[in-house]
Structure 1
């Protein structure tokens, strides 16, 4: 049986069919989210399809989600996530592509960007100091990084869901 939260999260996935949204495996912690109080960008990889992920972004109209596909092969150098602007060591960032919503997506049109391979941008922006594997944007506070992540993720979702 699905919870009301799980149903809302699946309905928020804007760039996939209802069948795809239904078949996607949601992590247990997603069922505990309150979609009305979502204030951070959340992401996860589907354990049954590791090349597939979801990015859930808070908007004024409630959560908006996009289904992503990871490119095969890892980055061969340190790289920065375009959303949270955290620099990772080799393999910590992956190229993700999201099919556009509607007819364009069915024709193969996608929007892509480099994102944290684990889709855990919300956790990465909370890191206070750099580690060997993870370096947050220097000279910024956690609140500034969280706000920047929300803004850039919303822009990405807008590009995926744009009509015309």
Structure 2
């Protein structure tokens, strides 16, 4: 099964039609899902308010479809997943419909995340910049592990 097909199959909170309409970026198509150990997020190039969060799982990765709020946070804010602090506009509220009947009835879960969903890159930043400040006092491996833990908890809340 191709990476595209596998990602569409592990999307847990959307219809097959919504999953089929999703645009996957080239770097995501090249992922080895069998060895995935990073949280991967992206915004759909054809529908920028639509995004995906792909999280490593015990047997198979799990993904949730997200919707971006129309406006980014206009002040300095921290991503709830990677704990990177961004300057104005770097963080956006993303919501995810819950899986199944709850989601069809409008029940959602939301959190503030890096506007570009680049958490996997942001946790690897060694030195803070004016626009991007990773959590201080932690190694890159500790930040990566924390990102996986928080992203998994978010996905679990969506799929509950």
Give the match for residue 152 of structure 1: 150
Structure 2: tracts of 5 or more residues without a match: none
- Deviation per CA, 1:108-157: give whole Å up to 9, x if none: 00000000000010000000010010000010000000000000000000
1:93 alignment counterpart: 91
1:140 matched to 2:150? The reply is no
What stretches of structure 1 move > 4 A for 4+ residues in a row? none
Equivalent in the alignment of 1:37: 35
Per-residue deviation, 1:5: 1.2
1:89-124 deviation line (CA, Å, top 9, x unaligned) = 000000000000000000000000000000010000
Give the aligned partner of residue 123 of structure 2. 125
> Using the alignment, how far apart are the partners of 1:28 and 1:76 within structure 2?
30
Q: Distance in 1 between matches of 2:125 and 2:117?
A: 15
Distance 1:36 1:141 in 2: 25
Q: Report the RMSD for the aligned CA atoms in angstroms.
A: 0.7
Per-residue deviation, residues 7-32 of structure 1 (Å, max 9, x unmatched):
00110110000111011111111111
Query: How much has 1:76 moved relative to structure 2?
Result: 1.4
Equivalence for 2:107: 109
Query: Could you tell me which residue of structure 1 aligns to residue 58 of structure 2?
Result: 60
What is the CA–CA distance in structure 2 between the aligned matches of 1:31 and 1:96, rounded to whole Å? 23
Number of matched residues? Answer: 160
| TM-score normalized with structure 1 length | 0.96
